[in-house]
Amino acid sequence: MLEEDALNGRVSSRRQGHVLIITMARADKRNAIDRHMADALDRELNLLEGDDELWAGVLEGVPQAFCAGSDLTAGGDYVTERGGEYGIIRRARSKPLIAAVEGPALGGGLEILLSCDLVVASSAAVFGLPEVAIGVVPTCGALFRAPQIFPVNLARELILTGRPIGAERAWQAGFVNQLTPPGEALEQAVLLAERICENSPTSVQACLRAIQVTLDAGTRAGWEATEDAKEALVGSEDSQEGVRSFLEKRKPVWLGR
């Protein structure tokens, strides 16, 4: 059964047994997330959480890109009540969510992956946090989740250089659970979800909640630190120049203030 977002076509989903496969399909914008897309993702994740016949979810993008993060023209209007940023970043989930990644996952796209439970990626995938290149900071959890999940020095490299890494390096670092040939990430992610669904859903959900409680111990401090980093840049000339130069497709001229 296919359930589509009739309003905008940005997100669709289909069921495969006990697995809900969610597809971000705003290919012309490399799956950059705006208000409509956040609401559609929120709806699908609410379905995953609320339907007792769904035991696991798979989230995929398009071959051109998993997700390019925030649509800068949205002006930050992509927060939902239940899921937070993009409908997913601050969501409390009890069912496993596996990401299937074929193309680049940059900025908020990587922060979505940091919010998932498992990552299956093709060798063509790329991961990065380019925010410093436009004079802003990662605001959707990467400042504390990346050092939790990546080796700390690799997290620093991603955050401070803004340069992406390839799937092979992400796999070697333990971030990617399975590395596949191009075009096979979704298939392998669904197989992984189905393997999870061979187990007791009650046990799986209890285990996932226990893991999350442990990880969330430092989450409040992480969000507070992220807010401090954001506040340090509010109104700065560099942040204004960075975003302006990105939209104008030119190299920024930094002033250091």
- Dump pLDDT digits (tens) for 151-176: 999 999 999 999 999 999 999 999 99
The model's pLDDT over 85-108, given as tens digits with 9 standing for 90+, comes to 999 999 999 999 999 999 999 999
- CATH at residue 182: 3.90.226.10
The pLDDT score that the predictor gives to residue 207 is 96
User: According to the model, what pLDDT value does residue 243 have?
Assistant: 84
The structure tokens listed for 83 are 């899921």
pLDDT tens sequence across 118-156: 999 999 999 999 999 999 999 999 999 999 999 999 999
List residues with catalytic annotation: 111, 131
Query: Would residue 227 count as lying in a domain?
Result: yes
Q: What is the mean pLDDT of the chain?
A: 93
- The total domain count for the chain is 1
Q: Is residue 197 part of a domain?
A: yes
Q: Residues 6 or more apart from 200 whose CB is under 8 A from it?
A: none
Q: Is residue 253 included in any domain, yes or no? A: no
Mean pLDDT of 26-38: 94
Percent of the chain's residues with pLDDT above 90: 79
Can you tell me the distance from the alpha carbon of 157 to that of 136, in angstroms, rounded to the nearest whole number? 16
Does 254 fall in a domain? no
Which residue range is the domain that position 16 belongs to? 2-244
CA–CA distance, 144 with 130 (Å, rounded to integer): 16
- Which residues fall within 8 angstroms of residue 72, CB to CB, at 6 or more apart? 32, 243, 246, 247
Whether residue 162 lies inside any domain: the answer is yes
Edge-to-edge strand ranges of the sheet holding 56-60? 2-4, 11-16, 19-24, 56-60, 97-101, 118-122, 178-180
Q: Distance of CA 5 to CAs 9, 22, 35, 142, 162, Å?
A: 5, 11, 13, 28, 33
Residue 172: inside a domain: yes
Q: Is the pLDDT of residue 8 over 90?
A: no
Residue with tokens 């302006």: 244
Written as six digits, the tokens of 235 are 């109104």
Cα separation, 91 vs 173, in Å, equals 25
252 within some domain: no
pLDDT tens, residue by residue, 218-256 = 788 899 999 999 898 888 988 888 888 888 889 999 989
| Residue matched to tokens 């920024």 | 252
Quick check: 6 pLDDT over 70?
no
